[in-house]
Amino acid sequence: MHSTDNWQDMAQTMMISVDAMGGDHGPPVVIAGCEQLLLRRPDVRFLLFGDETAIGAVLAAHPKLAAASEVRHCTVAIAMDDKPSQALRAGRGKSSMWRAVDAVKIGDAQVAVSAGNTGALMAMSKFCLRTLPSIERPAIAAIWPTLRGESIVLDVGATIGADAQQLVDFAVMGGAMARALFHIERPSIGLLNIGAEEVKGLDEVRTAGAMLRDANLTTIAYGGFVEGDDIGQGKVDVVVTEGFVGNIALKTAEGTARQVGSYLRAAMSRTLMAKIGYFFARDAFNRLRAKMDPRKLNGGVFLGLNGIVIKSHGGTDAEGFASALDLAYQMARNDLQSKIRSDLEDYHRGKFGGLGAEPERMS
């Protein structure tokens, strides 16, 4: 347990625990990303978990960050290709990834961030933090650029297959995240389906739609089914699906963005007239490039746990890692956890007539 003085200090600052060994590049990118966030958010502080020699060698070139950080030595780093079960056995209690998550559990930090192995991070987060009482499986929520701004899509890879109740839980948690991130009082929710008609789609999706309509929740506005092309249009604030479909949709969108970027670069350099045209239109192209830059919206939020964990893309650079850290900052500062708990309780109170009436699921 922490003293009252420690909690008062934490209330004034944002403590983020970081797996400094995670990702394809380890400490150089992680440390540079932390410093970028510190410049934007002076009230942030860091717990850096990993090999103290490797971290210290990089941190020495960042004195301002060093003054705002504490390094905690770890003897194990989880490899990007480790199987989740293998990582859990080898890293439980001693890896940089585990200890970054555990810092949230014991109250040393408000949120954890890692660019490491996704499967291992989810396994450790679920084992260490446990799921919320009414949640059977957690979800990963990603931020998606749209024509209207940004939307949230979940699940993008944590749960392969989901029953109707799990999809409803995802909808409630996604709505809470939208309130925390976008500051929307009653975000709109759509279920990803093969058509907008109520008779289309899998039984679980159609059942989840009926459950959301009947729930008539005050915290979210259920907007029915949405199709794949509706995601980019920003038809709803939150798109809900299970992890297999969500992950394919996410990877397809990322690949398409890279493909379009390659087409544009090739077209703009093909002829002299194209190069001249690019010169006059470069501001517009720069805005397009920024809009499509995956680093700007880097970071997946693990929802449904007793604590906040953010997964950064493993191959990102310092700017991308800083974006994941900034997302972590916003989720913790805007009290995502209390919003999720409150919204889930409201839903289950309405469904079961009172708290505790539903049998508690195993964590």
Q: Categorize the per-residue pLDDT at 347 as very low, low, confident or very high, splitting at 50, 70 and 90.
A: confident
Global pTM?
0.85
Domain definitions of the chain by residue range: 1-130+304-363, 136-299
d(CA 136, CA 242): 13
Among the CATH numbers 3.50.50.60, 3.40.50.1820, 3.40.718.10, 3.30.413.10, which is that of 136-299?
A: 3.40.718.10
Q: What is the CATH number of domain 1-130+304-363?
A: 3.40.50.10950
**How many other CB atoms are there within 10 angstroms of residue 54's CB atom?**
16
Q: pLDDT over 90 for what percent of the chain? A: 59
Sheet holding 111-114, edge to edge: 69-73, 44-50, 14-19, 111-114, 308-311, 300-303, 139-146, 149-154, 238-240, 188-192, 221-226
Q: Picking from 81-90, 187-196, 266-275, which range would have the lowest pLDDT averaged per residue?
A: 266-275
Residue 197 vs residue 344, higher pLDDT: 344
Q: CATH topology of 1-130+304-363 equal to that of 136-299?
A: no
Q: Nearest CA to 179 among 152, 157, 206? A: 152
CA terminus-to-terminus distance, the chain: 23
Strand ranges for 98-162 from DSSP E: 111-114, 139-146, 149-154
Average pLDDT over residues 70-81: 93
pLDDT tens for each residue of 113-168 = 999 999 999 999 999 999 998 898 899 999 988 888 899 999 898 888 899 999 99
